[in-house]
Amino acid sequence: MQTDKIKFYPTKPSTELSDKMEEECGVFALYDTKPIENVAYLAYCGLFSLQHRGQESAGITVANHGHLDTFKGMGLVSEVFNTDELVHKIGNAAIGHVRYSTTGSSNLANAQPLFAQSVMGAIALAHNGNLINANRLRNELELDGAIFQTSSDSEVILNLLAKRARLGLQQAISDTCNTIRGAFALVMLIGNKLIAVRDPLGIRPLCLGKIRGSEIHVLASESCALDIVGADLIRSIEPGEMLIIDETGLNSYRYAKNTHRASCSFEYIYFSRPDSILDGLDVYHVRESAGRCLFHQKPVEADVVIGVPDSGVVAAIGYSEESKIPYSMGLVRSKYMGRSFILPDQKLREQAVKLKLNPMRHVVAGKRVILVDDSLVRGTTAKKLIQLLREAGAKEVHFRVASPEIKFPCFYGIDTPTKEELISTQMTKDEVCKYIEADSLEYLSIDDLVNAIGNDRHYALESFDGDYFVKA
């Protein structure tokens, strides 16, 4: 049997300090029936555009008619890969992954794509999401003799596939996907086939495209990754759908009987890039609509609207347009401050916020400011930003949040603080307002969030209302 050739690049730690819900992961894949001269470089470009979804590790597996080569390492896409080497890597298919560790520690062993041998041939797998029954399944597999090389829940999927391999490709995937529970968007190379699967609720995003003027099919977590490789968006993968792409073309199957859409609302609020289209919806439009709705929650007189870069900016523009209060760039983000590291004391952590964002004094001095952000998690960053604006001369700072109060953790592939760490579970709105030292505080209501996304659809709102779609 062929073996996977893995090139490990130097490890670089990337433990991130953030007052946000952390990104999950991003996946990318492409396939053609004939060898593609720049297949690895195209995968690199796709992952580069998905960098916002995970900064801990990156990996690419290239397939050349069933033979797999994997390149992966710790750090950003630009740090992990040697582009000169990738340009000359020939194959007919590739899958890629950028990772933020929601399950499993941050180390090289957990970097994806993961690899295994089976009677179906070599398997490479990349996963975005989180399995809520992973621990139970892992224990069962270990009792059956399975050996695990990582602490990632994604390896559970790999072992289940290998265990069911004698059933044949389609049935093995179908049985595996009906056994795991939670959120998952998968891209896999098995033999000479590219497979894509989305969970029965469509919690995690996955879309299909095709490079213009070619027969190359492309799969990605977000449509922005299609744009960078010159691919047109065809459609989103449906909840409970399995795609198998091989020399016969593209074939679609339904592996789940009971499906209904429950897309993650945070994809629209925060995670996805504003230039992406998810399940037919323009992310920019959703965020702009959320900002418009936010103005009507409780209008306040002000002189300028500013947004917290980057994900609060579009909502701030919507707020400005609806309120007729001028929008201005009041905070500048350092583009070279990509990641901030865990620091030993609160004073240094506060300093890290100042390194990332700096107020425009001439924009806010003597002004009543509306400060718009996408979410409020712990409140520490909001508190520091308001302090910085006041130091820059702001007369008033009114904080507006383009999402509802976050009161419950998420278990579907988002790294959320515990319930005890969420500020909205520990304080009333008035107490939060006092803590962050704002003149006023308003959140987007759940109803307005649903209206902004589209009330004709179903979305996962568990972080706001505690109603979890998937039970362990």
Q: Are 123 and 45 in contact (CB under 8 A)?
A: no
Rounded CA separation 276/222 (Å): 6
Please write down the HEC assignment for all residues of 187-213: EEEECCEEEEEECCCCCCCCEEEEECC
Q: Are 65 and 94 in contact (CB under 8 A)?
A: no
Catalytic, 45? Answer no
Cα separations in angstroms, 2 against 65, 66, 173: 12, 9, 22
Which of 231, 146, 217 has the alpha carbon at shortest distance from 187? 217
Amino acid at 44: Y
Structure-token pair, residue 297: 């929650």
> Which of the following is catalytic: 25, 45, 224, 410?
25
Burial class (CB in 10 A: 0-12, 13-18, 19+), 105: exposed
Beta strand 114-118 pairing with 121-131: antiparallel
Which of 400, 385, 329, 319 has the alpha carbon at shortest distance from 352? 385
Rounded CA separation 173/117 (Å): 15
SS3 255: coil
The 3-state DSSP composition of the chain as helix, strand, coil percent (nearest 5) reads: 30, 30, 40
What dihedral do alpha carbons 285, 289, 291, 295 form, nearest 10°? 160
Which of 271, 210, 272 has the alpha carbon at shortest distance from 20? 271
Structure-token pair, residue 166: 């004698």
> DSSP assignment of 132-187, as one string?
TTHHHHHHHHHHTT---S-S-THHHHHHHHHHTGGG-HHHHHHHHHHH--EEEEEE
- DSSP β-bridge partners for residue 371: 306, 399
> Which residue numbers are catalytic?
25
